[in-house]
Chains A and B, each alone.
Chain A
Amino acid sequence: MASQQIIGGALQPRDLAAARSRRRRGSSDGAFRYGMTLPTVLALLLVVAFPLAFALYVSTHEYDLTEGGIGAFTGIENYARTIGDELIANAVRNTAILAVSVVAIELVIALGLSVLLNQPGLRFRNVYLAILLIPLLISPVAVGLIWRLLLHADLGAVNWALGLVGLPKQEWLSGQATAMPTIVGVDVWHETSLMIVIILAGLTALPRDPIEAAAVDGANRWQAFWTVTLPLLMPVLLVAVLIRMIAAMKTYDLIYILTRGGPGSATETISYSIWKNAFTSLDMGRSAAASFLLLIVILALTVVLVRVMDVGRDS
């Protein structure tokens, strides 16, 4: 009977009834939660999972758009050909040079500017910050077009300025030695703002006590920064570096606008090379394989990023 008492601390019938009621409520809550998230999951499956799966399928088959539909299964042949392709190897080298260069330079500049902006009592801080963030608001294509005009060898403002001080004009975008450094420079101009946003937020959130304690102990500003602030800021810096590294490895738009991968293939990055294979050679199998190889590298970096963020949150 529902009201029957059981001696000895065992579950009472009314407890069983309450537990059954909680289970029913829990399962209906769970169903509600799953139901609410189902549209999102379905959308993700449609927009992300299906294209990825299809691309993976294509990457293991012959698929040249000029030869009709998807052809024979080739296994890892597309991957092997991609890895052994000299042009792809060149693109990987260029991508590594570009990514490491821009991230390193942006980190130094952004850290310095963030420390300056974080000074207590700094007047017009918000004005400085607003100005520094302007490049971030401009789309990469517009950035490329603006700098293409500024760097024009004949009509550009940069060479005009050089001429004012007696320096010779440079072929910024078409010289073997100048094209990649120019791309790096434009990217630094555009993306340093993002690093400033991340690093400044991190600096602002740091506890003041350790820094003040260091000052009390006689540390000067440089010593306090090097021994206290920088170690505390390290997780934030790692996050900023990883975020920028992932984005830099996918650089395509600046290359397309400024140099088209040239001169020759001196500035051809992996993303640009994949696009070229897909829409010029029309070899979708190889392009899909190259895309997946890039995805693997970016996924690895993303896993590291997530772990660093988790460590940062826990600490």
Chain B
Amino acid sequence: MATMRNDRLLTTALKQRLDRRRLLQTSGAAGLALGSGVRFGSQAGAQEITFSRDYEGTTLNLLMEDLLETTIIEEMLPEFNELTGITVNFEKVEYGVMHEKLVPQLAAGPGNGTYDVLEVDFYWVYEFARSGWVEDLGQRIADSGGAISLDRYIPATLNIVSQADGKTWYVPFYAYPMGLIYRDDLLNDEAFKVEFKSATGMELAIPDSVEGYVELAKAITKWKGEELYGVAMTAQQVDPIVMEFCNFLYSSGGDYYNADVTAPAINDETGVRAAELYIDCVNHAAQPGAASANYNDSIAVYSQGRAFSSVSYMWMLATVDGDEEAVVRGKNKAAVMPGGTGLSGAWGWGIPVSSPNPDAGWEYVRWVESPDVAGRRALAGSLPTQQAPYEDKEILAKYPWLPEAAAMITEGKGLPAVTKQTQLVEIVGRHLADAVAGGATAQEAMDAAAAELADLL
């Protein structure tokens, strides 16, 4: 199994450092130029994209999640400044506070906000669009001179984070699909497999159903106890537990609402079964404290070699394999969630109506999503939403798990198309956490969630 990160690019994703020399080399290949207009070739090779210096001297402010993808772009911002004369400030924060920082700014009215460009999570898409807080980007994309073309993107990402109600509101930025991360070294260790079969009567193999996966995880935990848990889980209320549960729900064939989103379906037989399996997994297969564990907690358990698997984001795989101190570094693989459908999340770029500098902000989006910059970001470790990086030999050589990631993106699902998806996550998370703690049965929890989800329609 090849390492997930080039050591010259990233010594540890958790420390979020990049080799500046490497980035400057790749930037140099693109060609920095000064002057009133800049031309450089896209990865596709044929189209030249120009950037304007009409907004020279403008400072753009963006609220960004503090993680690797942000650091990658931050290292490239001097290039953007050279091209356009625009300065970009990133206000980097932890995910949990992003929504509450953004909402008052977005509601401030045209031109009165603080942020010029938005980094939008996939479950704010409908809320921001239907509230009239973001611009319809259709015309801007058409006039972008080839810098932005929706044809370049994986179609699934357009559904997840770009388009809503027939319009295009955001340009896809990076993807974060969820799937199964597992210990490939143990899966291919014949002695381990024999011992496992002897102890449990089961074959050690990646199952093809949620039921099978939960049984496998429980069996490993029962067999190996504190030494090796079947799964490292992240069931903290509110966002982590719901994101994790989505994989169990979707792979079981369930959903939050019916097909035309007119009535809740989470408390139907499939939804309740998915909740039962999830609760069983947290309480009998996962590490102690999983019910209040966040991503740092579950990554720590997995990195220490104390879990066989984790239902998590692809960036967790990159994090573990990029961490020199991880016991399991280089021993992992990824697969689509057993059952076939995981959660597919993504971030996108939007222009808020409240932006003080919308046109300059759009210039930034044109640059950061131009094929060349997107390709270089992918080379540095950002999971791309554009298709070309998944076919690039250099990128594939560095990140051989990209085809699995592409499959997760394509076969995954986002959240239902209701306006208040944030509230949906809160409702489901609250009731599911209650059930995990034994305060309600799965049926009671899903019935209670369904009653509140009906109010969101």
Q: Is A245 an interface residue (CB 8 A)?
A: no
Q: Is B132 an interface residue (CB 8 A)?
A: yes
Task: Give every chain B residue within 8 A of A265 (Cβ-Cβ).
Answer: 430, 434
Contact with B along A173-185 (1 / 0, CB 8 A): 1111001000000
Q: Is B131 an interface residue (CB 8 A)?
A: yes
A173 to B238: give the CA distance in the assembly, Å.
14
Interface locus among B15-23, B149-157, B163-171, B287-295:
B287-295
Q: Is A9 an interface residue (CB 8 A)?
A: no
CB <8 Å contact, A152 and B289: yes
Contact with A along B291-326 (1 / 0, CB 8 A): 111000100110000000000000000000000000
Which one of B127, B287, B422, B437 contacts A174 once the chains associate, using CB atoms below 8 Å? B437
Task: Give every chain B residue within 8 A of A279 (Cβ-Cβ).
Answer: 99-100, 103
Which one of B103, B293, B433 contacts A263 once the chains associate, using CB atoms below 8 Å? B433
Q: Which of B129-144 contact A (CB under 8 A)?
A: 130-132
CB <8 Å contact, B438 and A262: no
Contact with A along B225-253 (1 / 0, CB 8 A): 00000000001111000000000000000
A152 to B107: give the CA distance in the assembly, Å.
38
Task: Give every chain A residue within 8 A of B438 (Cβ-Cβ).
Answer: 176
Contact with B along A159-175 (1 / 0, CB 8 A): 10000000001010111
CB <8 Å contact, A65 and B289: no
Q: Is A84 an interface residue (CB 8 A)?
A: no
Q: Which of A253-298 contact B (CB under 8 A)?
A: 259-266, 275-276, 279-282
Which one of A153, A261, A275 contacts B289 once the chains associate, using CB atoms below 8 Å? A153
Q: Is B419 an interface residue (CB 8 A)?
A: yes
A91 to B237: give the CA distance in the assembly, Å.
17
Task: Give every chain B residue within 8 A of A174 (Cβ-Cβ).
Answer: 235, 289, 291-292, 433, 436-437
CB <8 Å contact, A263 and B291: yes
Q: Which of B404-457 contact A (CB under 8 A)?
A: 419-420, 422-423, 426, 430-431, 433-440
Q: Is A139 an interface residue (CB 8 A)?
A: no
Task: Give every chain A residue within 8 A of B130 (Cβ-Cβ).
Answer: 66
Categorize the interface residue count of chain B.
35 or more
CB <8 Å contact, A263 and B437: yes
Categorize the interface residue count of chain A.
20 to 34
Given contacts A68-B132, A173-B292, contact A264 B430 (CB under 8 A): yes
A308 to B436: give the CA distance in the assembly, Å.
46
Q: Which residue of B lies closest to A263 (CB)?
A: B437
Given contacts A259-B237, A281-B423, contact A264 B434 (CB under 8 A): yes
A262 to B438: give the CA distance in the assembly, Å.
12
A265 to B433: give the CA distance in the assembly, Å.
9
Task: Give every chain A residue within 8 A of B236 (Cβ-Cβ).
Answer: 260
CB <8 Å contact, B434 and A171: no
Min CB distance A85 to B, Å, is 12
Task: Give every chain A residue within 8 A of B131 (Cβ-Cβ).
Answer: 65-68
CB <8 Å contact, A282 and B420: yes
A161 to B419: give the CA distance in the assembly, Å.
47
Contact with A along B176-211 (1 / 0, CB 8 A): 000000000000000000000000000000000000
CB <8 Å contact, B437 and A176: yes
Q: Which residue of A lies closest to B426 (CB)?
A: A280
Q: Which residue of A lies closest to B241 (CB)?
A: A262
CB <8 Å contact, B288 and A282: no
A264 to B435: give the CA distance in the assembly, Å.
8
Q: Is A15 an interface residue (CB 8 A)?
A: no
Min CB distance A284 to B, Å, is 9
A171 to B291: give the CA distance in the assembly, Å.
8
Q: Is A154 an interface residue (CB 8 A)?
A: yes
Interface centre among B100, B237, B292, B423 (most CB of A within 10 A): B292
A179 to B103: give the CA distance in the assembly, Å.
30
A67 to B132: give the CA distance in the assembly, Å.
9
Min CB distance A282 to B, Å, is 7
CB <8 Å contact, B423 and A266: no
A154 to B296: give the CA distance in the assembly, Å.
13
Q: Which of A126-177 contact B (CB under 8 A)?
A: 152-156, 159, 169, 171, 173-176
Which one of A66, A159, A259, A263 contacts B436 once the chains associate, using CB atoms below 8 Å? A263
A154 to B437: give the CA distance in the assembly, Å.
17
Which one of A261, A263, A282 contacts B439 once the chains associate, using CB atoms below 8 Å? A263
Q: List 27 A-B contacts (CB under 8 A).
A: A65-B107, A66-B130, A66-B419, A68-B132, A154-B293, A154-B301, A173-B292, A174-B235, A174-B289, A174-B437, A262-B237, A262-B433, A262-B437, A263-B237, A263-B437, A263-B439, A264-B430, A264-B434, A264-B439, A266-B439, A276-B426, A279-B99, A279-B103, A280-B423, A280-B426, A281-B426, A282-B420
Closest 7 pairs (CB-CB, A-B): A153-B289, A264-B434, A263-B437, A174-B291, A262-B237, A174-B292, A279-B100
Q: A175-B437, A259-B237 are in contact. List 20 more A-B contacts (CB 8 A).
A: A65-B131, A66-B419, A66-B420, A152-B289, A152-B297, A153-B292, A155-B289, A155-B300, A171-B288, A171-B291, A173-B292, A174-B289, A174-B291, A176-B439, A264-B437, A265-B434, A279-B99, A279-B103, A280-B426, A282-B127
Tell me the B residues contacting A by CB distance below 8 Å. Answer: 99-100, 103, 107, 127, 130-132, 235-238, 287-289, 291-293, 297, 300-301, 419-420, 422-423, 426, 430-431, 433-440
